[in-house]
Amino acid sequence: MVEATTLPRNEDGIACVLGVLKQQFGERFQTGAAIREQHGHTTTWIENQPPDAVVFAQSTQDVSDIVKVCAAHKVPIIPFGTGTSLEGNVNAPAGGISIDLSQMNAVVEVNAGDLDCRVQPGVTRMALNTHLRDQGLFFPIDPGADASIGGMAATRASGTNAVRYGTMKDNVLSVEAVMADGKIIRTASRARKSSAGYDLTRLMVGSEGTLAVITEVTLRLQGIPEAISAARCSYPSVEAACQTVMAVIQYGLPVARIELLDAMVVKAVNSYSKLTLPETPLLLLEFHGSDASVAEQAEVFGTLSEEFGGIGYAVTTTAEERNKLWQARHDAYWAMLTLRPGCKAVATDVCVPISSLAEAVVASSRKAAELDLVVPIVGHAGDGNFHATPLVDMENADELERAKMFVSWLNDLAISMDGTCTGEHGIGQGKRPYLLKELGGAVDIMQSIKTALDPDNIMNPGKIVGD
């Protein structure tokens, strides 16, 4: 494991808060070692830093009450959704209270005519889409994991559909949030546009719990497309696949998803998901629209792919075949682990301009080989976001050091290309060293906002900015 930064603990304050919350919340207040460790756990190589207690909130008022108690004693608060974060976002480096929002899982209202809905933060994306299906609607952001909507908003998540439908920042109309003093605010109305003051919604989306605890989210919805088709196409090289993606974007083809899998990932997916794909770089695509437009999109892509050596192009409109392909893509993380049993997958997350994607991916593969690392690559190629994932023997100190070198090099590469060290995973603890490199003096402005809204630094401390 990579050692995480530890912050000073407020032992007296923590002791007081534990006593008050235990009396106030009864069985919804937990201090068992296993549950605390679960709420410090993230799918990452950063060490686990558990909170001192977990409180299961059931309402916005519960959250406000917890925050007020913690604020009075200057004790840290760490919001927790489903725990699928990847950069140590829910660790507790100074101890404190984890507010588990999973029991706040109601779909409060659906306004089908306005294509929006209001949900509590513990609702997961799959549960929401199951609820919406009978009304012919869906929420398009799909990060792969069945993450909570609150967590997705907090980390400004995106995923496979971002190339057409955008990220969480494009699909959140408003949030309700509890501030560092326990005050409850709503950042905006349901109106599709507004010139009313500062855009507090965008400030909260991506703040990773460092400014407030999100307790309700108003989301933009989409109608379920009349027709959907999925496609796959193999390529002689990763560079050829990336050049195809660039051509698709420049052509203006409105693909819903376009995902890159390198040869190592395809090999892993074949074994794990029982597929028989050619074990060369692969693009997976999805087209949404009317029957006629979907057929046209598929035809145009086929023509474009031929120019870059695409082979084995196949299109399917059957739900069973589509789901099989996309489930395999979503299971790629687990599939990659089978390439080196017993090793840890270190999920990275950079994003570069589309025109730099081929260069960045090819350079990443070369650097991995230079460092003698096994690093399969997958990517949301349509928006320049890719994940190079070192598979590391955590007991091998030399290999661990080389993996750290690779991750650092990759972040620097993305920033040098006018890209970002994180396209969708957030900063958390893992990416803090690169934020200043990427944004320079803008980080000082972030720190000023953090200090103004959270002067005692109790809101998820040790993440993004500030100590």
DSSP states of 161-181? THHHH--HHHHEEEEEEEETT
Cα gap 429→254, rounded to integer Å: 36
pTM of the entire structure?
0.95
Q: At residue 366, what are phi and psi to the nearest 5 degrees? A: -65, -40
pLDDT given for residue 309 in this prediction? 97
Two tokens, residue 231: 């496609």
E strands within 85-234?
Answer: 97-100, 107-111, 116-119, 137-138, 172-179, 184-186, 212-220, 222-223, 227-234
In 3-state terms, what secondary structure has residue 29? strand
Higher pLDDT: 371 or 47? It is 371
Pick the CATH number of 227-335 from 3.40.50.12780, 3.30.450.30, 3.30.70.3450, 3.65.10.10: 3.30.70.3450
d(CA 167, CA 385): 12
Identify the residue whose tokens are 């410090």: 40
What is the architecture, at CATH level 2, of domain 107-223?
2-Layer Sandwich (3.30)
Return d(Cα 220, Cα 175) in angstroms, integer: 12
User: How confident is the model over 209-265, as pLDDT tens digits?
Assistant: 999 999 999 999 999 999 999 999 999 999 999 999 999 999 999 999 999 999 999
Domain 340-426 is found in CATH 3.30.70.2740: yes
pLDDT tens, 284-336? Answer: 999 999 999 999 999 999 999 999 999 999 999 999 999 999 999 989 999 99
59-68, 72-81, 378-387, 411-420 — which is least confidently predicted? 378-387
Residue 467 pLDDT: 67
pLDDT-based confidence at residue 41 (cuts at 50, 70, 90): confident
pLDDT at res. 347 = 85
Cβ-in-10-Å burial (0-12, 13-18, 19+) of 20 comes to middle
Taking each helix axis from N to C terminus, what angle separates 238-251 and 357-370, rounded to the nearest 10 degrees? 160
How far, rounded to the nearest angstrom, does the alpha carbon of residue 250 sit from its chain's CA centroid? 26
Query: How confident is the model over 124-179, as pLDDT tens digits?
Result: 999 999 999 999 999 999 988 899 999 999 999 999 999 999 999 999 999 999 99
The token duo for 143 is 């990060």
Ranges of each domain in the chain: 107-223, 227-335, 340-426
Q: Do domains 227-335 and 340-426 have the same CATH topology?
A: yes
Q: Which of 225, 238, 257, 232 is nearest to 383 (CA)?
A: 257
pLDDT of residue 31: 98
Integer Cα distance of 458 and 19 in angstroms? 18
